Every structure is written in C-alpha cells, then in structure tokens.
Amino acid sequence: EDQVTQSPEALRLQEGESSSLNCSYTVSGLRGLFWYRQDPGKGPEFLFTLYSAGEEKEKERLKATLTKKESFLHITAPKPEDSATYLCAVQAKWDTGRRALTFGSGTRLQVQP
C-alpha cells in the first residue's frame, strides 16, 4: 500500500525566515511525486512534479527536491502570501493498475509579517 507522511503538521514562520517541509513516502514503483498548494476552501493548486531521485524543481521562493525515500519543499525568505497548506502526493507506475495520487495530510504553513 502506498503511504505518504508529511511533517511538520503545522509550521509558523516569520517573514523572511527560510525553512523546509518534509514528505516521506513508500510506494512500490514510483511514477512521480507531486507538490500542491491548497488555500482554505479551495482545490489544490499544482506546484511541481519530480520523477527521479536527485531531481530538483524551483518556482519563485519554492524549491522541491527528491530522494529515494523523501522529498523536501524548501521555502526561501517566505512572505505572508505563501501561507497555505502544502500537500505531497505520490503516483505509482501505470502498469501497477494504481492510477490515482495518494496524498499526505499536508503541512499548514503560516507566515507572519
């Protein structure tokens, strides 16, 4: 069974205080690992896809990295508008028959001015 564990559950940062969110995963045959941002009452917004260990992706103040067991979402000099819940999800290889994403519980990030 695919499993995704995110930590911490909640994180409060001061504006400009960099930090990292962790996503540990177990999946037999990784097709891809995905990061999403979700604002309250809205659907998740796609951020990144990572396919293989060692891969990195960047977007503005966010940088996602991947190893064989975990992924990190690094937030550099965050701003209040970065406050949201960040979700990690994994997808198994297509030939396993498991086509949908398995999500973690998310990290609720609050950035204070």
Partner 1 sequence: ETGVTQTPRHLVMGMTNKKSLKCEQHLGHNAMYWYKQSAKKPLELMFVYSLEERVENNSVPSRFSPECPNSSHLFLHLHTLQPEDSALYLCASSQLHGATEAFFGQGTRLTVV
Query: Which stretches of the chain bind partner 1, using CB under 8 A?
Result: 4, 31-32, 34, 36, 41-46, 49, 87, 89, 91, 94, 97-106
Tell me the closest approach of the beta carbon of residue 73 to partner 1, in angstroms: 15
**Residue whose CB is less far from partner 1, 2 or 78:** 2
Nearer to partner 1, 47 or 76 (CB): 47
Strand locations in the chain (E): 3-7, 10-14, 19-26, 30-38, 45-50, 56-59, 62-66, 70-75, 84-92, 102-103, 107-112
The least distance separating partner 1 from the CB of residue 44, rounded to whole angstroms, comes to 5
- C-alpha 17/C-alpha 92 separation (Å) is 34
> Which tokens hold the place of 84?
């949201």
CB of 48 to partner 1, least distance (A): 9
Residue 44 or residue 78: which is nearer to partner 1 going by CB? 44
Cβ 99 to partner 1, closest distance in Å?
Answer: 5
